[in-house]
Structure 1
Amino acid sequence: MPNYLDLFAGAGGLSEGFLQAGYTPVAHIEMDEAACYTLKTRVAAKWLKDNGQEDVYNEYLNEKYSRNEFYSHVPEEELSSVLQREISKESLPEIFSRIDERLGDRELDIIVGGPPCQAYSIAGRSRSKTRMRGDKRNYLYKLYAEFLKRYTPKFFVFENVTGLLSAKDEDDAPHFQKMRDLFRECGYSTNYRVLNAKDYGILQNRKRIILVGKRNGAKDYYPEIKQIRTNCMVGEIFSDLPHLHAGEGSPKPTPTLHYEGHYLYDAGIKREDFQPVTLHYARPNTEQDLKIYRLAVKRWTQEHQRIRYTDLPEELKTQKNNESFLDRFKVVAADEKVSQTVVAHICKDGHYYIHPDIEQNRSLTPREAARLQTFPDDYFFECIRGGFSRTTAYKQIGNAVPVRLAYCIAQALLPEFE
């Protein structure tokens, strides 16, 4: 099976999709420390499963081992596939050396990954006095190109936000065109599509640019990424989880109420019958927030309409801004096939991700958000010091590529390696 290098790996959404399609990772490069621990834990879990020691992972999730004790069950060679480094001109020699060591005599088949999107996102530009022009993150694609030059993989997959299409450099030239010109100079034809996750069996409205490069390929080449229809509703993928109120739950594994495997399978979420889910842990809320949540759910349930901030009783309004962000409280629609986009802001508050069950009256847990991103139920999101941080988990989940979308892309490219 083909191998791949994961750049700007984050918590591993792209990587997990390629793994599920049968590809073999060479290395994952990521600068965020917590995300690197998440990647290492996933590497360890896969190795243990492949070697008949899955119970070790389950015991770790149940806190019978510390993280270091857990990692001690796995060869260092496996764990060292995760390299915590910021990709920069200064770090490239060391990163290349580590990748060379892991590749040995093998050739690299494909590079996947997308640089951080803040500099290209429309929201990021709107908050910046300089419109993000000159931000060093705008030019990370140049470092991406250095990997193409050194390893000349047959393909690369570059993912980013749709705001990239309108982002401009200091000379007013589009960044996206500069990227494609540079990739062409490296020997790659490129083509792209704006893909929406909802068209690939994912219960989420999430548009992203997926640029595919092929070495010495035809100018118009683009893989046939097959769309997937699902009959599953958003509420169904939450239905087997224990009911929680705000502040309730546990980061530890939680038995499900009743296993609705066909819902999860249809929605692209992997889960074993015997495995309890992790990270079903609701954040606490103020009584004021909970009153607003009740009103939002009632409005959605009774009228199928979103509540606007200006609709709230005066005693529940604490913000002076009544002209923008009026949809700051939003219910995740249980009776629809798509949710709103899961983004990293969910780590700040859950107001945009209110659970549709008025009896639970809370925002989504990390596990529910991860299910919308099609992460397997046993995928554990680490924090720096070990244990669990809700904020860190939400951030990693919101920044990730949906696993099932990555899987569909990986499947589409497989025939090219036969």
Structure 2
Amino acid sequence: MPLTFLDLFAGGGGLSEGFIRAGFSPVAHVEADKAACFTLKTRTAYHWLTQQGRHDRYIDYLQGNISRSDLYDSVPPSEIASVINAEIGQESLSTIFDTVDELLNGRELDLIIGGPPCQAYSLVGRSRDKNKMRGDKRNYLYTFYAEFLRRYRPRYFVFENVAGLLSAKAPDGDLYFDKMRFLFKEVGYETEHNILSASNYGVLQNRSRIILVGKRGMTTGFYPNPETWMPINVVVNEVFKDLPPLCAGQGSVRPCEVKPYQGTYLYKAAIKNDLFPVTFHSARTQNDRDLEIYKIAITKWNKSHERLDYNDLPEHLKTHENRTSFLDRFKVIAGDMPFSHTIVAHISQDGHFSIHPDIEQCRSLTPREAARLQTFPDDYFFESTTDIPGRSPAFRQIGNAVPVLLAQKIAQKLLEVW
């Protein structure tokens, strides 16, 4: 029997997808965001249908031939019910427990994964908030994580968050990270941690996360350091190679015609799957001013690997009053480098921080391009709150996610030391 896990603060499912790939079996996902829950339900349907050899049903959905409800009706109701749309807190805790208990149906829970929203701990979040995020209720969500540990007593847990967690201070001056580890020890878990950079594990992106692993009991030396993989002679442009070129405003969330792909990276990273069509290659519309700035930024990067300083723009292109911070707000993806800068959730607001390096296309990334940089497989479909899929919720889920390949590497190593 595969080892079971519960995913808390699941988001769009990047962490979970990596653990499923490694052989773990999800019991439930708990997530507050409604759109992300639909994404998790759709992915749950994908896994069930493909296990049954019913790929065509999922392809019908990607092509828009059947509705989301039709897709969900194609799988057992218990599969869809395993996605729990709830904000984890004191009021919801007992209801969530009851649902998870029902889904477990007497089985033991082997593992808990997930991490609370990172804005309260991130350096950027603290720099932008006048109170440095102190008093933000998200600072204390780890206490509810501990309640799940108390109730289900899994052998291990994997808690992920931004590296800024290590320096985030509580109002009493103590570090939140120290408080977490003390609480986890109090409920019976030794913890070990490391900061892992996704670029060391096959992800073409410079993204660091703190991965805290807990093991029930008092033993130490159990940390599952993943096997590194840095693809040789592969640069970021590899993720764009087979996608059709688009200008701003072009493309569709529905399947697109891809070009022949002669490389190996997209297959080795399990991003490309020829069984399923590629969706969400849709570029947002940009105004003329932004496109002019993009051209300047792309030219500057491609000619001399220099970043655009906002203050260096011609006056008629400057519309932001803030001229002292975030001067790199227009940033080109480093297509000719081994990894890009970090894809962040702000990409759902605008694409200025994730500009495509091809000046002929002159636009920001599409959700599919961003998803590939996060190593989401091409058959992953991102949902919105309505039946009409949209770019913004997709970008938010992609930007907040743990890269799938990094999650898989952690999960594989955890199985080895289990």
Letter in structure 2 aligned against 1:257: K
1:279 aligns with 2:289: no
How many Å separate the matches in 1 of 2:378 and 2:211? 26
**Following superposition of structure 1 onto structure 2, how do residues 9-408 of structure 1 map, counting pairs within 5 Å?**
9-231=10-232, 232-260=234-262, 262-266=264-268, 268-408=269-409
Question: What secondary structure sits across from 2:41 in the alignment?
Answer: helix
Q: What is the deviation of 1:321?
A: 2.4
Question: What secondary structure sits across from 1:71 in the alignment?
Answer: helix
Q: What is the deviation of 1:98?
A: 0.9
Report the counterpart of residue 413 of structure 1 in structure 2: 414
How many Å separate the matches in 1 of 2:319 and 2:150? 54
Letter in structure 2 aligned against 1:380: F
How many Å separate the matches in 1 of 2:123 and 2:271? 33
Q: What is the deviation of 1:11?
A: 0.3
CA contact (8 A) 1:190 1:221 kept: no
How many Å separate the matches in 2 of 1:367 and 1:194? 27
How many Å separate the matches in 2 of 1:311 and 1:224? 44
CA contact (8 A) 1:269 1:371 kept: no
Question: What secondary structure sits across from 2:266 in the alignment?
Answer: helix
Stretch of structure 1 that moved more, 325-334 or 312-321 = 312-321
Letter in structure 2 aligned against 1:245: C
Number of residue equivalences? 416
Stretch of structure 1 that moved more, 103-112 or 368-377 = 103-112
How many Å separate the matches in 2 of 1:301 and 1:269? 29
Q: What is the deviation of 1:227?
A: 1.0
Stretch of structure 1 that moved more, 314-323 or 166-175 = 314-323
> Identity across aligned pairs (percent)?
57
Letter in structure 1 aligned against 2:250: E
| 1:91-138 Cα distance to aligned partner (Å, 9 max, x none) | 111111111111122111110000011111111112222211121111
How many Å separate the matches in 1 of 2:135 and 2:316? 44
5+ residue gaps, structure 1, are none
How many Å separate the matches in 1 of 2:262 and 2:366? 18
User: For the structure 1 residues 261 and 76, does the alpha-carbon distance in structure 2 shift closer, same or farther, using more than 3 Å as the test?
Assistant: farther
Question: What secondary structure sits across from 1:214 in the alignment?
Answer: strand
Stretch of structure 1 that moved more, 280-289 or 119-128 = 119-128
Question: What secondary structure sits across from 1:245 in the alignment?
Answer: coil
How many Å separate the matches in 2 of 1:43 and 1:280? 22
Question: What secondary structure sits across from 2:264 in the alignment?
Answer: helix
How many Å separate the matches in 2 of 1:135 and 1:319? 28
How many Å separate the matches in 2 of 1:14 and 1:217? 26
Could you state the TM-score of these two structures normalised by the residue count of structure 2? 0.97
Question: What secondary structure sits across from 1:17 in the alignment?
Answer: helix
Q: What is the deviation of 1:312?
A: 1.3
Stretch of structure 1 that moved more, 108-117 or 306-315 = 306-315
Q: What is the deviation of 1:261?
A: 5.0
Q: What is the deviation of 1:225?
A: 1.3
CA contact (8 A) 1:259 1:273 kept: no
Letter in structure 2 aligned against 1:44: A
Q: What is the deviation of 1:322?
A: 2.1
| 1:337-370 Cα distance to aligned partner (Å, 9 max, x none) | 1101011000111111110111011010000000
User: For the structure 1 residues 260 and 98, does the alpha-carbon distance in structure 2 shift closer, same or farther, using more than 3 Å as the test?
Assistant: farther
User: For the structure 1 residues 161 and 230, does the alpha-carbon distance in structure 2 shift closer, same or farther, using more than 3 Å as the test?
Assistant: same
Letter in structure 2 aligned against 1:234: V
Q: What is the deviation of 1:162?
A: 1.1
Letter in structure 2 aligned against 1:118: Q
Letter in structure 1 aligned against 2:276: Q
How many Å separate the matches in 2 of 1:3 and 1:104? 12
5+ residue gaps, structure 2, are none
How many Å separate the matches in 1 of 2:137 and 2:256? 43
Q: What is the deviation of 1:376?
A: 0.4
Q: What is the deviation of 1:33?
A: 0.2
How many Å separate the matches in 1 of 2:219 and 2:173? 29
Q: What is the deviation of 1:160?
A: 0.4
How many Å separate the matches in 1 of 2:351 and 2:270? 22
How many Å separate the matches in 2 of 1:176 and 1:7? 18
Question: What secondary structure sits across from 1:345 in the alignment?
Answer: helix
How many Å separate the matches in 1 of 2:202 and 2:263? 15
